Amino acid sequence: MRTYADPPVAFVRGKGSELFDSEGRRYLDFVSGIAVTSLGHAHPDVVAALTSQAETLWHVSNLFGNELATGVAATLNRLIGGGKARGNVFFCNSGAEANECAFKLARRAGAPGRYVVVGTTGSFHGRTLATLAATGQPEKHARFVPMPEGFAHVPYDDLDAAADALADPAAAAFVVEAVQGEGGVRVPSGGYLAGLRQICDELGVLLICDEVQTGLGRTGAWFAFQHEGVLPDVVTMAKALGNGLPVGACWANEETAAAFEPGDHATTFGGQPLAMAAVASTLAVMEREDVCERARRAGERLRNGLADLPGVAEVRGLGLLLGVQLSDVAAKDVVAAALGAGLLLNAVQADTVRLAPSLLITDALLDEALDLFAQALGSARGCG
């Protein structure tokens, strides 16, 4: 179906941070499938895990036990809680499904009459009807009205507005991105997440953190909320979880997760062995390679190089999730020029380009990408 624009190039092979098109041309991948292939393309450990599992067992459904899923859930619980909290995990197939689970859980866990999920303007939580309703971008709602009820929005990074909205007796949860990705790679003020945690505690509502794009090392911490030392009641993730194999997860602390009973929620493919083999291998590599530290170090190098370029007004973000706001040229023109030069980028706002390379990116490839970005920027500004 024509739900996407015509693709400018078709890729046939990838290795690490490099992609090759049908004509054999090489590109540096600084999109990573939208923050998905955080270990790069065709990582040998993930390939080996998938190959072995494909020869063993692909799928049995959640009617039966699955030791792989249990082990992955334990790892996620450790990475999220840092040994200070315990929770349960629901496995699914995408970030939108993870958020759907979170919203249903909020309704089940809340007191009678509490069903409204409050989110923020500029947010993005998915393309299903419920997650689209939670997304704070009215222009994306227009063609699909009437939208599902039970969602409200307040300005991002505004604690007073959040407190006012959550004072509604019908409020059940607040959903927030610790860094807004599609909203322009926007990092909130220090203390915002901690303030939300305090407000939610005082009013007896859940704090849901959407870490679909920011989770698993991307920002220099396992999860972006950890930069402020807070722990949400519910955490959603996907993208990097399987390094490209479709998989999502919704984690909730034990008290919140206990609101679900058998039959309340399900998905046929969630947590199936092939997906769990990919996740287990991906997480093992991430821990072994200390991707959080790598993202911090590489992100600083990339940020400094970008900030020095003419035509760059601001560099926002954390770790290896960066948004470059341009001063005098359209983001789409820079993206097109970069593609022509052999560098993959994408535009998230009219004036903002997003960079999300592999967390295993080398310094040499970072420097090459900075040179290509500078060439593309100069070309788009009419200076190349």
Instruction: List the catalytic residues.
Output: 124, 210, 239
The span from the CA of 153 to the CA of 135, in Å, is 8
- Other CB atoms within a 10 A radius of the CB of residue 246 amount to 17
Chain Cα centroid distance, residue 252: 17
- Please report which residue ranges of 154-290 form alpha helices under DSSP H: 159-166, 192-203, 254-257, 273-289
The span from the CA of 65 to the CA of 88, in Å, is 16
Handedness of CA 118, 119, 125, 128 (dihedral sign): positive
Residue 276, phi then psi, degrees to nearest 5: -70, -30
Q: For the stretch 202-226, what's the b/e string if a residue is b when 16 or more beta carbons lie within 10 angstroms of its beta carbon? A: eeebbbbbbbbbbbbbbbbbbbbbb
Angle in degrees, CA 264, 267, 273, rounded to 5: 130
Residues whose CB is less than 8 angstroms from the CB of residue 304 and which lie 6 or more positions away in sequence, other chains included = none
Chain Cα centroid distance, residue 359: 14
The half-sphere exposure of 18 on its side-chain side, counting CA atoms within 13 A, is: 9
